A and B are shown apart, each in its own frame.
Chain A
Amino acid sequence: MIYRLLPQEINNTLINYDMKKIQEIRLRRNAPVVINYQGKNCVLKRMSGGEPVFVTKEMIEYVLKRATENSLYAYNNQIKQGFITARGGIRLGIAGESVNSDKFMPTTIKNINSINIRVPHEVKDCSAFVFNYIYSKDYGIKNSLIISPPGAGKTTYLRDIARKISGIEDKVFNTLLVDERFELASTLDGEPMLDVGMYTDIVSGASKEFAFSNGIRVLRPDIIITDELMSEADVDACINAVNSGVKVIASIHANSISELKERQGINKILTARCFERYFLLSNKNKVGECISVYDENHKCIYF
């Protein structure tokens, strides 16, 4: 699928690499192509001569055309947030000149000069260990928060959890997936590009604040799954959902639970005690490794 997006010159070189081990492909204008191979950044080199492949303006235009199916204007809402979701759940992070930028959101991004293609990996059953702490036959589903630094596999975990919840012991849980940045389900033309379970309603592109309150009102979910709580408003949306009796499984960027305590506005999530389980992921030894589990009193129950 990824080959469809890339120019022939890059494809010819990528063939020499194991696609399953590539996490990112970075294209920066007038610089060599850099790939994240098994967690390490390296320059993409041609087999013959070992010369790096340099990115041209035309290559960037080609990738954008292919990713947007020759309809860049149709992706304006995503572009102004700095990404494009292409077919197959491939996410392209973009950098360029922000137009009419106010403090938070530009009108659009023009003269795009860098693209970070994130190759999606569906690691089925990766959350098996964590899931044992989230769900039990007697207590049902527990409100859970996945804490991890960027690139440690939170999104892959959440996607797997959504999929698993959909099919527990023939029970049907109405799951609402709040996919603000199109990362979890990667919906394209209304269709999820990645498997997030059969009984999952997906709200893409909306703020958590809106999606939570509106979703609870109109879709009556049993569980809400969302990733990357970033602001106080996101935290408030979670607390309100939990207080409404809806189970919430979310993720947040942090290196430890103590780091969360230091963050103003965000630390409310700990003081409100709305989550019953906290999972700390790390990418030190391997991507997506759960290194510790905490209970609702922030006491470590697995290390």
Chain B
Amino acid sequence: MVYVGCVLIIVLSSVVGRGLVKLFITRDKFYKELKLFVGYAKTEIEFSQIKLTELFDKFFEEKQVEFLKEFQEIKNYLMQNEKKCLDNKILYFLKREERRNIEVFFRGFGTKGVSEEIGQLEKYQEELKRKINEVESIRRTNEGLIYKLSLAVGVVVCILIA
């Protein structure tokens, strides 16, 4: 019985470890897709000046968007002026500060003229590049470590029980 319990604890700690690692991967992927969106928006605003609702819809249609639900949330936040902040349940993988930064950018999106808007998007693109590097390096350093640590915690608990 004790052995079965130990095996379950180790499996559980492995699942938790993988979940935590997945959080890093999701965050990394999301930022890459956000950068893709910003680049897409820049081109569309520069050449066709389509409205934001249309821009989002076109992006969803043309690109293989993995974070559709998350981008829908950003679109709703942007279009509904009454919505005060992004839903943290949908963007759970981001830290509060990261969500806040995205909110600040999108709150001002669409409120400027063409050249100003493009300048703003270019600036944000650079910011996202830096963020992606940061998130990637955090992921690389931590993913193996967290998984091992999680397993180690499971093993320690098992030893204590045994």
Q: Which residues of A contact B (CB under 8 A)?
A: 61-62, 64-66, 68-74, 76, 79, 99, 108, 110
Contacts and interface: CB of A to CB of B under 8 A. Distances in A.
B117 interface: yes
Contacts, number: 52
B116 to A, nearest CB: 8
A37 to B, nearest CB: 28
A65 B113 CA distance: 12
Contact of A61 (B49, B52, B111, B113): B111
Contacts of B49: 73-74, 76
30 contacts: A65-B81, A65-B110, A65-B111, A66-B81, A68-B51, A68-B110, A69-B51, A69-B52, A69-B53, A69-B79, A70-B51, A70-B53, A70-B78, A70-B79, A70-B81, A70-B109, A71-B51, A71-B110, A72-B111, A72-B112, A72-B113, A73-B110, A73-B112, A73-B114, A73-B116, A73-B117, A74-B50, A74-B51, A79-B113, A110-B113
B110 A72 contact: yes
A72 B81 CA distance: 14
B5 to A, nearest CB: 56
A70 B52 contact: yes
Interface in B11-53: 45, 49-53
B113 A73 contact: yes
Given A71-B51, A76-B114, 5 more contacts: A64-B111, A65-B81, A68-B51, A70-B53, A108-B114
A139 B81 CA distance: 56
A99 B114 CA distance: 13
A62 B110 CA distance: 12
Contacts of B112: 72-73
Contacts of A71: 50-53, 55, 110
A76 B45 CA distance: 11
Interface of B: 45, 49-53, 55, 78-79, 81, 109-114, 116-117
Contacts of A64: 111
A44 B79 CA distance: 29
Contacts of A76: 49, 113-114
Contacts of A79: 113
Contacts of A61: 111
A69 B109 CA distance: 11
A69 B113 CA distance: 14
A99 B53 CA distance: 27
Nearest to B109: A70
Nearest to A108: B113
Contact of B45 (A68, A69, A73, A110): A73
Contacts of B117: 72-73
Nearest to A79: B113
Nearest to A8: B82
Contacts of B52: 69-71
A27 B45 CA distance: 29
Nearest to B82: A8
Contacts of A99: 113
Contacts of A110: 113
B113 A70 contact: no
Contacts of B45: 73
Nearest to B114: A73
* Residue with the greatest number of chain B CB neighbours at <10 A, chosen from A65, A69, A72, A99: A72
Contacts of B79: 69-70
Contacts of A66: 81
A76 B46 CA distance: 12
Contacts of A72: 110-113, 117
Nearest to B117: A73
A142 B51 CA distance: 42
A70 B114 contact: no
Contacts of B53: 69-71
Given A69-B51, A71-B51, A73-B49, A62 B113 contact: no
A85 to B, nearest CB: 13
A110 B117 CA distance: 13
Nearest to A72: B111
A275 to B, nearest CB: 38
A129 B81 CA distance: 46
Contacts of A68: 51, 110
